Structure 1
Amino acid sequence: MDAQGRIKQLMEERDWTDYRLAKESNLSHSTVTNMFNRNNAPTLPTLEAVCKAFGITLAQFFTERNSPELTEEQRVLFAKWSTLKDEQKQALLALIDTMRS
């Protein structure tokens, strides 16, 4: 899958619009739309910003779907996780740590 296709896939999984991706990744809306409308391949800094917005690494971005399948519950959890701000993620991790002890 090409980079634009993978980005579209990740957007669909999260029900994000082009505008939402631009906002979450701190990219201009025109940068995001040009990736799709003009078929411009994203630059490495753009791709890094997109991955950060999705809450994934570049390695995860390029990993094929041959990895173990996630359950529907895990996919929902990861999709919601990616919408949290950094401080919210830290608070949730702290809560999980207290629940495990």
Structure 2
Amino acid sequence: MGFNYGANFLKLRKKYELSQKDLARIAEVGQTTISDIESGKKSPNVITIEKICEAVGITLADFFVEAEPELEPELRRLLDTARKLTPEQRSYLQKLLETMIAKD
């Protein structure tokens, strides 16, 4: 499954309480471009994504981070714990997890 630009643009637009027309105007893109992206008829190019991000005052990184789905609480705790490990410990943990999965 690919990245859903349309859903994420819609979410972003609603977050900033903008109509398609308003977002198109401040991002200097066509309203049909916004509509086509949100409806899934068209995928945006990098320039369009940058213009829309600039228009609402976020970076490309912010756009893609906001687009990530929320993790389940137990996965969030696991990730938070893994962040505290050294690179060597992370490598060991990765191998351990891969071994556990291979046994199933």
Normalising to structure 2: TM-score of the pair?
A: 0.57
Q: Which runs of 5+ in 2 are unaligned?
A: 71-104
> Match for 1:25 among 24, 27, 37?
27
Deviations 1:32-91 (A, max 9, x none): 12213452111111001011011000001000365xxxxxxxxxxxxxxxxxxxxxxxxx
Partners of 2:60 and 2:39 lie apart in 1 by 23
1:39 and 1:10 map into 2 onto residues whose CA distance is 18
What is the percentage of aligned positions where both structures have the same residue?
A: 26
**Which of 12, 15, 19 matches 1:13?**
15
Q: Report the AA paired with residue 8 of structure 2.
A: R
* Unaligned runs of at least 5 residues, structure 1: 67-101
Runs of 4+ in 1 over 4 A off after TM superposition: none
Higher alpha-carbon Rg = 2
**C-alpha deviation, 1:13, in angstroms:** 1.0
User: What SS does structure 2 have at the residue aligned with 1:23?
Assistant: helix
The 8 Å contact of residues 6 and 39 in structure 2, kept in 1 or not, is answered as no
TM-score of the two chains, using structure 1 as the length reference: 0.58
Find the aligned partners of 1:8 and 1:38 in 2 and give their Cα distance: 11
User: Would you say how many aligned residue pairs link Structure 1 and Structure 2?
Assistant: 67
Alpha-carbon distance in structure 1 between the residues aligned to 2:39 and 2:64: 22
Question: Structure 2 vs 1, CA of residues 20 and 59 (structure 1 numbering), >3 Å: closer, same or farther?
Answer: same
Q: 2:51 pairs with 49, 58, 63, which one?
A: 49
